[in-house]
Chains A and B, each alone.
Chain A
Amino acid sequence: MSRKKDPSDQPFRDSSAKLDNTAYNNDEDEELLALKRLIYRMPDREAPAGMTESILSSLEPKTVPGWVRIYRWALRPRTVTFQPLKIIPSAMVLVMVLALALQLGPWREEPGSMDPRQASLIPVTFTLSYPEAESVSLIGSFNQWNPAGHKMQQRGERNTWVLELRLPEGRHEYAFLVDGKMVVPDRSSPFYQSDGFGNRNSVLFITRDEAKNI
């Protein structure tokens, strides 16, 4: 270590020098100056070996686990600033990427594909020519005979009531309910079954082969 200079030997040039200069002019600081001189005249002692290393090692930062650092990072408040005009290109790119992913991704819908439950059903179109009817519903074994479930739509000038449904394969009984009270069988169906109430239900057989035109 270098030896310190005696303040009495030369005047101070730094800020402490100014203090010392003023001290010369102040009687109250005489004692302080004397002490200062004594300290500077004391012999220097060498620092113990390894002291520097020990001090430096104690100053080394401790290693913090990764999750703690992430946690702290997540907790740290931030201020985000942006310019709306600069966001537009990024948003456009994001939208394009999403659209592309939907179009080409593995979850895209195959052409003609549908819900498997729907796919197992076969489209059937019921028609009834009944110009005088105010309303027509289709009731049958496939809809628990619920007239509210399947209201038919009037189509064209031919006063034809039409309803398209998807039904499972098999045998179905049905009838048309005209104006909510009159039961009318389907005249175009060759098969029927007595309903026990004095009317006839029409009987429809549906096969998958037919839908596929085999």
Chain B
Amino acid sequence: MALFFAALLIAASISSPSVEAKPADQSVNASVRAASGAGVPEIELNRLLILAVDHRLEDDDVVRLVNVLRTVQTENLPIAPFMGKIEEGLAKQVPLNTIAAVLGQKLDDYRFVIKVLTRKTGEQEITPHDLSRMVGSLDSGITRDELAQFILEASGQDLSMLARATEILALLKQVRFKESLTREIIFIGLRNNSLTQSWDYLARVVATAKRRQIPDDEIARAARQALEASRPFGDFMAALGFTPRDLRHGPAVGRSPERNQ
């Protein structure tokens, strides 16, 4: 039912301006048309309007959210993280003012990261996924200064690898791995172009190793050796003495809950 009303609303907003509509409706219509004209995908606008119906948002609030999406689109930033944050905030029953403030903060984080990257690599393009990853590291425990310094210090021009590196930096900080060792490992990987996709799971391995009381130095040595020789991630795991099965903690992945208990 909500989908039906939202579809009606967006259809009315985009295709036929209503002369007799109330002023508030007009502003929703106008903002939706402006967002659509700016290039915000209709599917995202639909999602937003469905949320507005489901959560009974005021027209002014809908306009605020639509305008955020328009700004995001105008600045050529990925829409999905912002849309996700709106959905998350509404699901958690966060007041709309707070949601709007968080969206503003997120927008600012994106602008900051883009500015730092431009200083480092010029106009080199970065994928939305990698950009979001770098911005996400700011929500994962590292400050803007730390991030900027790290990006500027890091060698190599592969932005995908750099995004992975920033995420690893933040996650290893969460498990209290020695920061000097973290930087050493990451910089070796960036220098040798060996910090490939399978190293996405480095933080998980380190967390497991630490739970098993393996010293940080020993973990770092195994990682260093694998990255310097551009060996597969599996070699690093084997050097620490375990297989992917050993990474299992948190939600049970690939097994039934009985075995998890």
Contacts and interface: CB of A to CB of B under 8 A. Distances in A.
A53 interface: no
Interface in A88-104: none
Contact of B251 (A125, A139, A171): A125
Interface stretch (B25-33, B88-96, B116-124): B88-96
B95 to A, nearest CB: 9
Interface string A195-212: 111010111111101111
Contact of A196 (B85, B175, B247, B257): B85
A210 B247 contact: yes
Nearest to A202: B250
A12 interface: no
B219 to A, nearest CB: 14
Contacts of B93: 181
B24 to A, nearest CB: 27
Given A197-B92, A213-B245, A214-B243, A125 B250 contact: no
A188 interface: yes
Interface in A139-190: 139, 141, 144-147, 155, 158, 160, 162, 164, 171, 175, 177, 181, 183, 186, 188-190
B140 A126 contact: no
Nearest to A210: B244
A200 to B, nearest CB: 9
B216 to A, nearest CB: 15
Interface residues of B, number: 43
A118 B181 CA distance: 40
A192 B248 CA distance: 16
Given A141-B84, A191-B174, A191-B203, A210 B254 contact: yes
A145 B88 contact: yes
B249 to A, nearest CB: 6
B251 A122 contact: no
Contacts of A125: 251-252, 255-257, 260
Contact of A209 (B105, B244, B251): B244
Nearest to A171: B200
B36 to A, nearest CB: 21
Given A164-B257, A193-B140, 14 more contacts: A124-B251, A125-B256, A146-B87, A160-B261, A186-B251, A191-B171, A191-B204, A192-B140, A193-B139, A196-B139, A204-B250, A210-B247, A210-B254, A211-B253
A13 to B, nearest CB: 96
B244 A214 contact: yes
A147 B51 CA distance: 13
A135 interface: no
B255 A123 contact: yes
Contacts of B144: none
A206 B244 contact: no
A83 interface: no
A196 B92 contact: no
Contacts of A192: 140, 174
A205 B200 contact: yes
A156 to B, nearest CB: 9
A212 B261 contact: no
A189 to B, nearest CB: 4
Interface string B122-138: 00000000000000100
B84 A197 contact: no
Interface string B76-118: 0000000011011111111000110010011000000000000
Given A124-B252, A192-B140, A204-B250, A139 B91 contact: yes
Contacts of B105: 196
A171 B140 CA distance: 13
Contact of B201 (A205, A211, A213): A205
Interface in B199-258: 200-201, 203-204, 207, 243-245, 247-257
B209 to A, nearest CB: 11
B84 A144 contact: yes
Interchain residue pairs A-B with the least CB separation, the first 8: A211-B254, A196-B102, A189-B250, A145-B91, A125-B257, A125-B252, A190-B207, A145-B88
